[in-house]
Amino acid sequence: MYIIIVGCSEIGSRLAKSFSSGRDNVVVIDKSRRALKNLGPGFNGRAVNADGGDLGVLKEAGIESADVLVVLTPNENLNLVIAQAAKKIYNVKKTVVQIHNPQKEEVFKKKGIIMVNRTNLFLDEFKQCILS
């Protein structure tokens, strides 16, 4: 698989490392050089220091041939816009984004965006911990 990850947070970098250690091609984009350091020496892919919200940067990273685009910046609106643009303009089949606001999930699910909702994940985890 060809995977592009926008946002090299703790989660983004770990995701990148885990996929790049297998047979997948991974490109990680982050506008912060410091964030890209999260990748460490074990990363076997390409790191791009640029703004992933810029379509030109995504194109340069090979968005047209990507199988999956993962967007994990802290700005959920930006994540949703990048993912939709990738789908509409570059026909990326699978786009996965991180969001916080559960209400937006309903709306953007209909547009074919796969969302990982941090709030709901925490909620479920807390519930389980309390009840078990």
Q: Amino acid letter at 10?
A: E
- Shorter beta-carbon distance to other proteins: residue 94 or 100: 100
Maximum Cα–Cα distance across the chain: 49
Measured from the Cβ of residue 31, the count of other Cβ atoms closer than 10 Å reads: 18
- Shorter beta-carbon distance to other proteins: residue 39 or 61: 61
Which tokens sit at 72?
A: 């994990």
- Shorter beta-carbon distance to other proteins: residue 45 or 53: 53
- In the set 56, 130, 131, 132, which binds other proteins (CB under 8 A)? 56
Q: For residues 117 and 108, is the Cβ–Cβ distance under 8 A?
A: no
Work out whether 121 is an interface residue with other proteins (CB under 8 A): no
Q: For residues 101 and 119, is the Cβ–Cβ distance under 8 A?
A: yes
State the residues that interact with other proteins by CB under 8 A: 53-56, 75, 77-78, 80-81, 84-85, 88-89, 101, 103-104, 107, 110
